[in-house]
Amino acid sequence: MLQQDSNDDTEDVSLFDAEEETTNRQKKPKIRHPVASFFHLFFRVSALVVYLLCELLSSSFIACMVTIILLLSCDFWAVKNVTGRLMVGLRWWNHIDEDGKSHWVFESRKASSQENKNISEAEARIFWLGLIACPVLWVIFAFSALFSFRVKWLAVVIMGVVLQGANLYGYIRCKVGSRKNLTSMATSYLGKQFLKQVKHWR
């Protein structure tokens, strides 16, 4: 079923139009897509390693910069188009309609989808760990480059933040739904915290 958010022209749809299942599926513990799991981490970890060791490995800033940007680009494509769909059953993209209007689409497989049954808990952990940890490291590197006045590296780390942060944002939207859901979750959390404080003061 297609639902459109009128605020930001986003669409939340389900992959392959599978019917909802009332019973909870049991997650498989083993890794069913080892190649996808490997490349989910390979490109992003390689980019981090090259950034940390580039001054030891090569004296050419241009060569290091190009290598890191290529690794980040390969990672962006692989995570956005392959590993997210295989490892956690999520997918997002942007398309332009006939009127030239941009639409962001965030997809999530229904629980009854046959391919969704192949998703393992181990793969899901690998996916989310890599997806969250690496952008956080790039943000740390960005502050480090800024405060240590390594201006030439600032563009590289910002590229890392943008590319990996875009995938993180896209998959969070796939997981939790539209911006309204994100807002309601944040409001609910803050409300609960406020009530706890009021009870504590009493």
- CB atoms under 10 Å from CB of 38, counted, come to 13
- pTM as predicted: 0.69
* pLDDT on residue 115: 53
Q: Give how far Cα 17 sits from Cα of 3, 9, 12, 113, Å.
A: 13, 21, 12, 9
Looking at the DSSP assignment, which residues form a beta bridge with residue 55? none
Work out the mean pLDDT of the chain and round it to a whole number. Answer: 78
CB 69 within 8 A of CB 41: no
- End-to-end Cα distance, the chain: 47
Backbone torsion region of residue 91, taken as left when φ is above 0, otherwise alpha when ψ lies between -120 and 50, otherwise beta: beta
pLDDT tens digit sequence for 69-105: 999 999 999 999 999 999 998 988 888 888 888 888 8
pLDDT tens digit sequence for 139-197: 999 999 999 888 889 999 999 999 999 999 999 998 887 444 444 544 555 566 556 65
